[in-house]
Amino acid sequence: MGLRGKVICRFEFASEVERILHYAAADLCVFPPLYEPFGVVSLEAIAMEKPVVVGAKGVVGFREQVVPSGPDQAGVHVNGNDPLDIAWGIVAALRDPEGARSWGENGRRRVLKYFTCHTVAEQTIKIYESRQT
């Protein structure tokens, strides 16, 4: 696919400013971890209209954040412990740039609808209030 020299993998901590610059430059963001209880990184990426490939097996919040199919698709779910499945997700996004662009747009709409600080705080309060009975 002509990707040699065009793929950057970062495994160390990146500051917020550096992370935002990486998201801005990215065509696709891939987050395959098996343990990521909430998954802020995927929300940051889709808030910037980036299509994502996320690990959705294990303890991960990505399953709820990223719609993997249908008209609201924002990315694809993969088994983060299976390199072939991760590769499948990456290839699926790269083979259809227009589709991947719409994933990013859908993801941003989803973040603005369900994952703003205000919305998350309201949902948390509702859970606490429902437990008081």
pLDDT tens profile 45-57: 999 999 999 998 8
Residue 98, in any domain of the structure: yes
Q: What is the pTM of this model?
A: 0.83
Residue 5, in any domain of the structure: no
Specify the pLDDT at position 71.
96
Domain count, the chain: 1
Mean pLDDT across 59-73: 89
Specify the pLDDT at position 60.
78
- From its phi and psi, is residue 52 left (phi > 0), alpha (psi between -120 and 50) or beta? beta
Residue 95, domain extent: 16-130
Residue 8, in any domain of the structure: no
- SS3 call for 17: helix
Q: What is the CATH number of the domain that holds 87?
A: 3.40.50.2000
Average pLDDT, the chain: 90
Name the maximum alpha-carbon separation found in the chain. 59
State the pLDDT confidence band at 133, using cuts at 50, 70 and 90: low
Mean pLDDT across 37-64: 88
Specify the pLDDT at position 4.
80
Residue 7, in any domain of the structure: no
Residue 89, in any domain of the structure: yes
Residue 97, in any domain of the structure: yes
Nearest alpha-carbon partner for 99 in 28, 30, 48: 28
Sequence-separated (6 or more) residues with CB below 8 Å from residue 58: 33, 34, 35, 80, 81
CB burial of residue 26 (10 Å; 0-12, 13-18, 19+): middle
